[in-house]
Homo-oligomer: A and B are copies of this chain.
């Protein structure tokens, strides 16, 4: 049975890669920078994304978000408070987003055109394993980690941290209350992905959000997207 599973899995990933490639072409044609946000459950992706959408909108950027969860549309409702267009993807038991789900939810999205956006954020299902294998057509994968999760996560979930272009370290407002060694975390990140960019921030207090925005603007410039 093992061989059949491996073959089938390769087939699924190959089909996903094809759909992701088509999506990437569409995003590039529309001039939108697409980011895939991955993390554990409870790292604070939604609060972080809410603040990001607000901050970018205040500076005049046109933003939207797709948000993945097994169940509930809580996150879409929270994010809609930012004023940006937001659409929920419910996976109903599937532990990751796939390119097909993204493509399907881009269809028939009232008032949202790729050509009318600067940034599209895709908040993945909270899971440090399976989302790392599924390309969603994004230009940038961002891994979010919080300081309450321990310093060892990059070593335990290496594929996720190896396939991202930025590691955002959230909840630094809690550092005074934790036995947490930030230098050790940065060392462990560097062990699995040497020289990857990192930013520390608190989605709750807003500390570090400007540095994150500067990073985004620099990436948009590098990718020649007029964001």
Bits for A64-104, please: 1 = Cβ < 8 Å to B, else 0: 00000111101000000000000000000101000000000
B74 touches A156 (CB 8 A): yes
CA A128 – CA B39 in complex, angstroms?
12
B72 touches A129 (CB 8 A): no
Q: How far apart are A205's CB and chain B's nearest CB, in angstroms? A: 11
| A5 close to B (CB within 8 Å) | yes
Stretch at the interface among A23-31, A171-179, A219-227: A171-179
CA A156 – CA B124 in complex, angstroms?
13
Q: List 23 A-B contacts (CB under 8 A).
A: A1-B8, A1-B15, A5-B12, A41-B149, A41-B153, A41-B156, A42-B148, A69-B156, A70-B129, A70-B156, A71-B155, A72-B155, A72-B156, A74-B152, A74-B155, A93-B129, A125-B129, A127-B127, A127-B129, A146-B148, A148-B171, A148-B174, A179-B204
A150 touches B42 (CB 8 A): yes
Interface residues on A, range: 35 or more
A157 touches B42 (CB 8 A): no
A128 touches B130 (CB 8 A): no
A126, A155, A177, A178: residue with the most chain B Cβ atoms closer than 10 Å: A126
CA A129 – CA B93 in complex, angstroms?
7
CB-contacts of A176-227 with B (<8 A)? 177-179, 204
